[in-house]
Structure formats: C-alpha cells, structure tokens
Structure 1
Amino acid sequence: MNYIDLFSGSGGLSEGFIKNGFKAIAHIEMNGDAVNTLKTRLSYFYLKTTNKLEFYYQYLRGEITRNELYNMIPSELLNTVINEEMSEATLPKLFERINKTLSGDSVDIIVGGPPCQAYSLAGRNKQKRIQREQEKGVEVDDERKYLYKVYCDFLEYYKPKMFVFENVPGLLTSDGGKHWIDIKALFDKVGYDLQYKLLNSKEFGVSQERKRIIIIGWLKGTNYEYPKFEPTEASCTLKDLLNDLPSIQPGEESGEYSNVKPHKYVQKHYRNKEDVLTWHLSRPANNRDREIYRLAINEWVKDDNQKRLQYSNVPEHLRTHKNTKYFTDRFKIVPPNLKYSHTVLAHIAKDGHYYIHFDLNQARSLTVREAARLQSFPDNFYFEGSRTSVFTQIGNAVPPLMAEGIARELKKQLESKGGEVID
C-alpha cells in the first residue's frame, strides 16, 4: 500500500504507517533538519530489513558519519524524502518527481497536516495582530492557514482511496468557523467524503494528554468509513516511563542507560536490548530557575496534594516579572504518579519551565529523549539537528503510537473493502 506524507516534519505519522506495512512514495518537508531525520529513520528501517542494523548503531555511537550511513542505503529510497516548500509554484516539479517514484502505480492514501500554528491559541494572538494591521488598511494574513489548498491539489491529482488530515482543535473555530466551512467545501469539490473526530493521544497508549482533530476522508462512492478505535492506555506511570534513563544535572548529557530495569511497557514500545541511548541531553538552568523548579516539585509531591505551583506563590526575589494574573502555571512538572503528561508543544524548544522533571535532586527540565518518550518515539529513533531544532521536531510531531493505531485500522479497511463502489 503506497502513501504520500505531506508536511512530514520528523515523521511521526510515517512511523505508524511504515510499521503497518505501508510504503512511502514521498515525504515532503521544508525543514532541513527534519529532512535528515526522515532519511536517517528510513535508513534504520532499510538496515533492519536487510539484517544490517549494526551499521545504524555504529552511526549512533559516532563510529561512522552520516554520509557513510547514507551511502549504505539505496539512493532511490533516500530520494523519496523531498526537501521542498509546498506551494502552488512548487507543485509541478513535486508531481514530476513523485511520478518517477510511482512508475505508474497508484497512491492508496495521503497523510499529513499543514502547520498548525495558525490555528492554535498562540496563532490566534498572531491573528489578532494581523487583524489590527488589516484594519489599518495593510494587506496581511497568515498564509499557513491556506496550505490545505495545496493538500487538496494532491488529492485531486493522485485520487488516493483515503486521506488523513491532522491538526489542532482550533482548526474548527478559526475565523469564527468560516475557515472550516471552506475546507470542507474544497474537500467535497475534489471528490471526497469525510468525517472528523477530536481524538486524544492517551487513548492510543501515548503517555500524554494531546487532543487533535483527525479528519479522515475517502473517495465519494466508495464504502470506506471513519474507523472505530478501541481505546488503549499506557500501563505505566510517568516515573516508570522515564526511570531507566540516568540521572543528570542541567546542561549535562549521558549516552549510557542506568542500571534500573526498564518497565515492561517501556520494553514493549520504547527500548530494545541493543539500543544506544542518544539525546539524553538537558538544557542548562540558572540557580533561580532551579530553585523555582524545586518549589514546583515540592508543591506537587508534598502530602500527595498534587497541586501546581502558581506564579503568585513564587517568592518575589525569584520572579522575573510582576504579572501574577496571567499564565500563572508557567512552571509545571511532569507528574511522576500519573499515566499522562500535559501536552508536549514545540514551545519546549524555547524554555523548559513547562516540562520540569519530577526528581528533586535533578531539578531540571526534560531532556530531549525524555520529551521524545512522552511523544511515544522509540529510543532507536534518532533526530538530526541542534537541540532547539530537535525539541521543535518532537513538539510538532504526531505521536507515533497514535499514528500506528490510526494506520492499523485504515489498513484493515483498505485490505478488506478494496474501495468498492456503492451501487
């Protein structure tokens, strides 16, 4: 079953589809670091199928370079990752390049979701600024809001049996709901019925509360439908999830696992015996922030009251601003005794105050690897780029376990129903 991944990012959606036996015809992504992440992950899957994974682990240990790794992989596989911005102007050459890979085959499914910032709460603040400029007679808008049109161009051109379109809940209320009406109308125009649901990643075994709109569409006249997902949950607490990763201080990095035996759920979904620990890297923190981190940890664990630290309760000598009325929970720990964290966002790339590790002795924000586990990326998934870039890739991704659950149910329909036309 062939699929195309649009706005691929680091490949969270693709991870789930590849693990269900789908073949990637193309990944299209404009960020160079994410492109290399995709290529490195495809290298992993290729070497795994050819029983040569030792070369992949040599790369993770720094024993060979990335170029040496890529030289072991067929160029036609790496070339399915296309480093290009998606726009009306780039469509002709994108179609031409993808058609060479297809060699006359059809596309079964298209997946992806345009950048969600324009629809998020943070994006709304930008929209207000844009509106103020427009009121002054300045023509300005957030062009990312209209990238769904390019997505529909792909649907119209390749006519896949189904598609998956992922985005934030704010998509439904953008521009007072008018934007969603326009999106549905265009999907209808290019020949697709659709249904959407607000799904939570925690119902797919992800250790995180993360609500997303998942739109699934199918060619008009076929007998596909929105799948029913049986809820499943993580069988471990967040302490269990992270406990086998070594204790480190702010600014430190470790490439060796601790002696703590990983939880059974971690062994099932995250860590294999041969895995090499990468990106267990913590950002630096000054003494003031660490003191606040300890206050946040103590506030949660003392007397098991499970309370969040409010900024108004931070001693004045530790505050960096006077505003105690808004964003009062800006320092937030990942609770060790719960099964789910709050949502991991791309903002984690800017500061870690919203993602504080629960260990009082460490008093730091999450490492890159810890954030990746909250997003359900396995430890053998290697991210390319700087720490800031990788945090952004993780925060923007679709959790792989969620993607895997979606892909599994769609595969059943594609195999059993075959897109039969309803009389």
Structure 2
Amino acid sequence: MIRKIVEKLHLDPPKTLVLGFALIILLGAFLLTLPVATIDGAGLSWLDALFTSTSATCVTGLVVVDTGTTFTLFGQLVILSLIQVGGLGFMTIATFFALIMRKRISLRERLLLQESLNQVSIEGIVRLAKLIIIFTAITEVIGGLLLALRFSFDMPVGRAFYYGFFHAISNFNNAGFDLMGDFSSLTRYVSDPVVTLVVCAMIILGGIGFIVVSEVFEYRQTKRLSLHTKVVLYTTACLILIGTGLIFILEYNNPKTLQPLSPLGKVLGSLYQSVTARTAGSNTLSIGDMRQSSLFLIILLMFIGASPGSTGGGIKTTTFATLIGAVIAQIKGKEDVIFFRQRLLPHVIYKSLTVTVIGMLVVIVVTMILTITEAGAEFLMILFEVTSAFATTGLSMGLTPLLTPIGKILIILTMFAGRLGPLTIAFALAQRKQKEYYRYPKGKIMIG
C-alpha cells in the first residue's frame, strides 16, 4: 500500500520514509482505539492511541497508560508489531517479504533501504537487509528464551514465555515497553544478574548498529574493522563505563535507589541505568527518585543516544565523538580531527554540528513551550521528558501520564522528529552538495 502511494506521489526517499512512518502510526492508532484492544472494552481515545502508536513505532517507550494493565493480548501484540516494524524500518520488513516471494528489488526500493538504514551507498544494501533480519531473529529468540527461563520462576510457564519474548523484542529494538504493571518496568529485578545482563546485552546489540555487528561477526575472516565500527565500539564502551561509575557514585547513598541494595545490586543497578539511558527506556531503579545530578547525567546520555543504523535514537555516538574530537583538535592547535590514525573530512564535522544544533533547538523549543502548557511541573522533569522523547529513549520521571492534550501532541511531534529528523537531515545534506564556482573573500570574526 505504501509503495503504491509513493509511486503515485513521486516522493524522494526522505519524504517516503516520513510518509511511511506516518501511515504506520495512524494504522496503529486506529487499531488501539478498537474495543478489542483494551481490557475495559472501550478502546483508547484517539489522542492516547496516537501517542501510544507513535511511541511504539518510533521505539520510544513513553506511555500515557500502563501497557500491562490497560491492553488486551490483541492490543499488546499491536504494540509489539509496531515496535518491530519501527525498530527495523518498514522498508527492511517489506524487503524481507519481497525476498520470500522472490520479487526483484528495484533501484527505488534500494534507495529507500539506503535511507531507512542510514547508509552512504546502495552497494550490498539488500544483503545487509537480509543480515539484519537474520541477526534480529536469532538475537530476539535467544534473549526471549533466556528471559522466559528466568521469568518461569516467578509466573506460569506460558506467561513467562510471552513476557520473555515481549521484553526481548521491546528492549532489542530500544523501545522500553513492559508488561510488569503499574509503570514499574523491571524495578523488581534490579539485583537480578540474569535479567540485568540479558536485557543490557539486548539493548547494546540493538543500539550499536547493524553494520557494526556485521563487521564484528566477520572479523575472523576479514581481520579488519572500519573506522566507523572502531569509533562506535570505543565511544559506546566509554559512555557505558563512565555512566555506570558516575551513577554508582551519585546514587550510592540514596535510600530510594542504590543504598538498600547489596554491592552486586548496586553495580547492576548502575550498569542498567547507564545502558538504558542510551535510548532503551526500561529501568530497574525508580527514575523519579534519583538525585538531580544523576537525572542530569541521564539527560546527557539520552541526548547522545545510540549509534547510526541502529534501532536507537539521539544525535548518535559518532556525532558526539566527532564533536569531542574537533574540540580536542582545536585545543591542541591541530587542523584535522584524527581517529585511529585516520583523518575526518570537514563535511563530517559540519554534519555532526548541524545534527547536534538542530537536536538542541528541538529540545529547547519544546521544553520552553511545555513550561507554559504544563505549568505545574518542575523544569527538570519537563526537560527530562522532552529529551527522552527526542532521543526516543522512553525513560520518564512520571510526567507523561499527566500531560495536557497540547503537551501530548508536542511530545508526539518530538518523538516523530527524533526518530526521523537527524537521520533525514543527514541524508538530505549528503544529497544537496553543490559545486561552488566562486568563493567570497575571507572575513574575520572574534570567537570566545
């Protein structure tokens, strides 16, 4: 259906991506308004259904109603389907079915795949889509089985398997939806090494990007890693370790978070919050009870987000690394940004700066508006919620269910922009480079 609409409208890849996600969100919202979708038989209101569908499709995880106690099996499966399609991209799913039916993948469809997966060329794009589907299926099955085995000690086996696979799919796609009830997420498993380590692994594998995963698995044969993969792995490891250490220190004596836990529980709780802040959305500590310093740290981690070509959001780890590299190079008086003995081209730095500034502007503008519409809420809570929406993280201090209708609409638009905005902007910039036939004379301004 989407393909026929696109062909009639003659849309370019970025516009097609936006239209495709919008149509999926609207379809999901319609299904969630049906009486069969909710336990009370009334269905969600259109605004709440649109919010939930947007959050699931944009793999965010912010919710206005509790997923586990509001929706029937039908409603939960709708949400799970939206998460899977939103995480992998509708073009990846469409390509998978086209390959099953032995249909030829056209050049236009390859271009759409390139845009959807944030790749620089169409070379090998169909092979990459196949690998993504296979890797996703294997990872979600293994993660689902491990979680199901652990949950089987706390609930009937049938429910344990359903819960295991739901949370595996949700967290691999960095969505953060949960079925535990009362907006509690995975807080009851804060000291559980199996749940913590399995879910953290799912989040990390879903968040580092499929290109990185592919290169790591093929390393035995190729004996090489691209600069992109090296930067992603190094930056991801640093952010996780630094985040874990700082949360451990800041929350160590907080009686509402880490203090009551065992030493192992403190480490696991700190690790989980550090990992999930990078766009996953589930949590094992009560976010609203964390100290302001920890919340501000999480805001920074959420804004950075996951890596390009992944299921996560944010400005991306490579963008952050590029900006830090540019700052260090400037301080040292060097002209080039060097990573692993390779020089970054100037346009990469400009793109990184553009994505970051636009992301900051979105967060600032929406936060300012919400301070007016949500007058009773604290500033930090509003900033946290907006950053979570933009970075498609899904962590919440508890403001989302209390939002006014205008507030809900603004967060919906922020989630949508966060999922598609930076990616589409980067693609558009790459396509609009024009040769300059003249240059203006140099001018000087004072900086700093």
User: TM-score scaled to structure 2, two decimals?
Assistant: 0.28
Higher relative contact order (CA 8 A, sep 6+): 1
